[in-house]
């Protein structure tokens, strides 16, 4: 199947973004390894050739690799669970403090509303004063919550644990490439 330059660029973009299907990856591999790719794709052609060499190379895998990865994942999951409980505790205690504060202000500043409502200017000024107090207390109570966004940002990458598989595959490729470079350096030293 002959593909035009735009189709190749689209498939390459999907491939490098990690969204290509296995069939699309086979099309790209076939194009770069069996065909005559355009000159503008020289770097991509070299990449696919190197990937084929790496796939065919024998690379030793430590026997305890799976267990060490699982142990690391368990420790990461344990840390994220603890921090989410602390975050929930912080949010709940802050919300309870704000509610207690508002209730106290409303209870302690309660006056005879019938007398105040008869004078609209007085009612307005009292309402404004009470709202300013509540706003001040609310700002004091929520000032510590600004750190929650930083905590949320820190927890966000942990939600993407499903990408570990892709990362381990890429690390495997890098490991193979590193072994190949080491062997090349040793070969060069012998010469």
The DSSP letter of residue 64 is: T
pTM: predicted TM-score of the whole model, two decimal places: 0.33
Residue 149 has pLDDT above 70, yes or no: no
Residue 113 has pLDDT above 60, yes or no: no
pLDDT digits (tens, 9 = 90+) for 12-53: 999 999 999 999 999 999 888 887 888 898 899 899 988 888
Residue 58: φ, ψ to 5°: -90, 125
Domain spans, the chain: 1-56, 77-160
CA dihedral 48, 55, 172, 41 (to 10 degrees): 0
Residue 115 has pLDDT above 60, yes or no: no
Structure-block tokens of residue 178: 């590193």
Per the CB < 8 A criterion, the answer to whether 80 and 120 are in contact is: no
How many other C-beta atoms are found inside a 10 Å radius of the C-beta of residue 62?
Answer: 8
To the nearest 10 degrees (0 to 180), the angle between helices 65-108 and 120-142 is 160
Q: What angle do CA 134, 140, 145 make, to 5 degrees?
A: 120
Alpha carbon distances (Å) from 145 to 41, 81, 142, 180: 51, 19, 5, 51
pLDDT tier for residue 80 given thresholds of 50, 70 and 90: low
Query: In the chain, pLDDT over 70 holds for what percent of residues?
Result: 70
């Amino acid at each position: 199947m002959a593909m035009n330059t735009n189709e190749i660029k689209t498939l390459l973009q999907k491939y490098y973004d990690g969204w290509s299907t296995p069939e699309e990856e086979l099309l790209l591999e076939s194009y770069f390894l069996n065909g005559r790719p355009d000159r503008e794709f020289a770097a991509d052609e070299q990449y696919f050739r190197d990937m084929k060499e790496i796939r065919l190379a024998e690379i030793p895998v430590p026997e305890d690799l799976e267990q060490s990865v699982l142990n690391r994942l368990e420790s990461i999951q344990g840390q994220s669970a603890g921090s989410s409980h602390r975050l929930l505790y912080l949010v709940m205690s802050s919300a309870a403090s704000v509610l207690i504060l508002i209730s106290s202000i409303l209870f302690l500043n309660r006056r005879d509303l019938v007398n105040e409502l008869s004078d609209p200017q007085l009612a307005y000024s009292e309402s404004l004063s009470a709202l300013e107090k509540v706003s001040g207390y609310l700002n004091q109570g929520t000032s510590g919550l600004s750190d929650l966004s930083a905590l949320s940002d820190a927890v966000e990458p942990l939600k993407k644990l499903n990408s570990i598989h892709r990362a381990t595959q890429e690390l495997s490729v890098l490991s193979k490439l590193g072994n190949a470079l080491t062997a090349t350096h040793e070969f060069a030293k012998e010469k």
